[in-house]
Amino acid sequence: MKTEQIVRTFVEYFEQRGHRRITGSTLLPPADDPVLFTTSGMHPLTPHLEGRPHPLGRRLVNVQRCLRTTDLDEVGDATHLTVFEMLGTWSLGDYEGPVSLDWGYGLLTEGLGIDPGLLYATVHGGDDRTGPDTASLEFWQGRGVPVELTEQDNWWSNGPTGPCGPDSEIFLWSGDTPPRSTPTGDDRWVEVWNHVMMRHRRLDDGSLVPLPQRNVDTGLGLERLASLLQGTSSVFDCDVFDPWHRLLPPLWPLDERSLRVVCDHLRSAVVVLGDGVRPAHTGRGYVLRRLVRRVLTLLWRDDPTRGLGDLPPELIEHALDRFGQDMGSGEVHRMLLEEERRFRRLLERGRQVLSRPRFRGPLGEEDFHYLHDTHGLPRDLVTSLLHG
């Protein structure tokens, strides 16, 4: 099943159950939000989860682009991406958790044809603040889906304060063997859909108070589900990355993990640029800069003559199209090249700095910090400059 078809099936399924589709927002949260990027579908809906009525009612569905820097070091494995799409549904003080889980189960098994024997659920087992989520537990037991109870893993919040609650996560078996173990015991159980019973607000002092309404917030990682439904071994092999697979390896022969990181970071950088962020030494612009520099570091590790001038415009267009962004691909390409030039100049300076006697011997942590903080030279680049 192609990604587009998954999106259509998802949205129609929830529209048939009274949900109205809302337009996904950009990656940039509102100006007064301390978080750098939109990290989940619920993020732009925070005021409505806190009680402000939504103009389209109490049942919503959407597709939201998200960016997570917390997962940056995991990018390159089978399941993590920096920018990804999240399919989401919300009950704003309308139906309760078990109804949401019932629809989730129905969509996965009937709508998308997943074998129920490949599912596992996790549920909040209770802690010193709240009791166990018995409603979710009983729902899964009634469906014959195995359940694992956890504490921290089944509590979701978007930050240290604000709306939060216990969640029930649905995992899908990705192994070649019959399912075994549990989601926390075997990482071939891949989390696909999180249903958060969002009915608490955490205050500055860490205490929990009830929100004015009992919400349900769900989020399903599109590329993850697509790769599982398409039977591919990683998110990078699902159809979203088709043109990247076709065009990049002949251009830049890289080991598999580096290729994944290059695809992920370039695609993410294009989308971040498309949402209006520009490279900078702090904040969002710094995240963008890090993405581009990590790509260049990987490309230049084997061959310093490689460059983003060779990046096929089709890939930039593909990313901008996928996320419905208006910026021209030429403009995005120009900004990427400008950033590449800036980085090359920095490296030249880096080489000069590294030729100083202080850096002749093996480098210590302090040297790495100094080179990074004062000269903006990442550790892997310093290492390759010294050993290259």
Does position 37 interact with ligand SER (CB under 6 A)? The reply is no
Which of 94, 133, 217, 339 forms a contact with ligand SER (CB under 6 A)? 217
Which of 62, 122, 154, 218 forms a contact with ligand SER (CB under 6 A)? 218
Q: Where are the alpha helices (DSSP H) in 127-240?
A: 134-143, 222-229
Does position 219 interact with ligand SER (CB under 6 A)? The reply is yes
Interface of this chain with ligand SER, residues 272 to 311, rule: CB under 6 A: none
Minimum CB distance to ligand SER smaller for 88 or for 279: 88
Binding part of the chain for ligand SER, among 5-13, 35-43, 182-190, 204-212 by CB under 6 A, reads 35-43
Q: Output the smallest distance, CB 224 to ligand SER, in A.
A: 12
Q: Output the smallest distance, CB 97 to ligand SER, in A.
A: 12
Which phi and psi angles does 199 have, rounded to 5°? -130, 10
Distances (CA, A) of 305 to 87, 252, 302, 343, 347: 40, 11, 9, 14, 14
Helix, strand, coil tally for the chain in percent (to 5) = 45, 15, 35
Q: Is 96 exposed, middle or buried (0-12, 13-18, 19+ CB in 10 A)?
A: middle
Which phi and psi angles does 172 have, rounded to 5°? -120, 135
Minimum CB distance to ligand SER smaller for 194 or for 325: 194
Q: Output the smallest distance, CB 21 to ligand SER, in A.
A: 16
Strand partners, 85: 65
Does position 156 interact with ligand SER (CB under 6 A)? The reply is yes
- Strands (DSSP E) contained in the chain are 20-21, 59-67, 83-91, 119-124, 147-150, 155-157, 162-173, 189-196, 200-202, 208-210, 216-221
Minimum CB distance to ligand SER smaller for 100 or for 297: 100
Q: Output the smallest distance, CB 372 to ligand SER, in A.
A: 31
The three-state secondary structure class of 147 is strand
Interface of this chain with ligand SER, residues 80 to 99, rule: CB under 6 A: 88
How many residues touch ligand SER (CB under 6 A)?
Answer: 10
Strand partners, 201: 163, 209
Does position 42 interact with ligand SER (CB under 6 A)? The reply is yes
Q: Output the smallest distance, CB 101 to ligand SER, in A.
A: 13
Does position 194 interact with ligand SER (CB under 6 A)? The reply is yes
Q: Taking the CB of residue 202, how many other CB atoms lie within 10 A of it?
A: 18
Minimum CB distance to ligand SER smaller for 164 or for 262: 164
Which of 170, 196, 298, 319 forms a contact with ligand SER (CB under 6 A)? 196
The per-residue b/e assignment along 238-261, b for 16 or more CB within 10 angstroms, e otherwise, is bbbbebbeeebeeebebeeebbbb
Q: x/- contact string, 221-260, with ligand SER (CB under 6 A)?
A: ----------------------------------------
Which of 3, 26, 38, 40 forms a contact with ligand SER (CB under 6 A)? 40
**CA–CA distance, 314 with 294 (Å, rounded to integer):** 21
Binding part of the chain for ligand SER, among 4-12, 40-48, 50-58, 349-357 by CB under 6 A, reads 40-48
Interhelix angle 313-322/329-354, nearest 10 degrees: 120
Q: Output the smallest distance, CB 88 to ligand SER, in A.
A: 5
Q: Euclidean distance between the first and final Cα of the chain, in Å?
A: 45
Does position 329 interact with ligand SER (CB under 6 A)? The reply is no
Residue 190's contacts (CB-CB under 8 Å, 6 or more residues apart) are 78, 79, 171, 172, 173, 174, 224, 228
Does position 165 interact with ligand SER (CB under 6 A)? The reply is no
Residue 348's contacts (CB-CB under 8 Å, 6 or more residues apart) are none
Which single residue brings its beta carbon nearest to ligand SER? Answer: 219
* Contact footprint for ligand SER (CB under 6 A): 40-42, 88, 156, 194, 196, 217-219
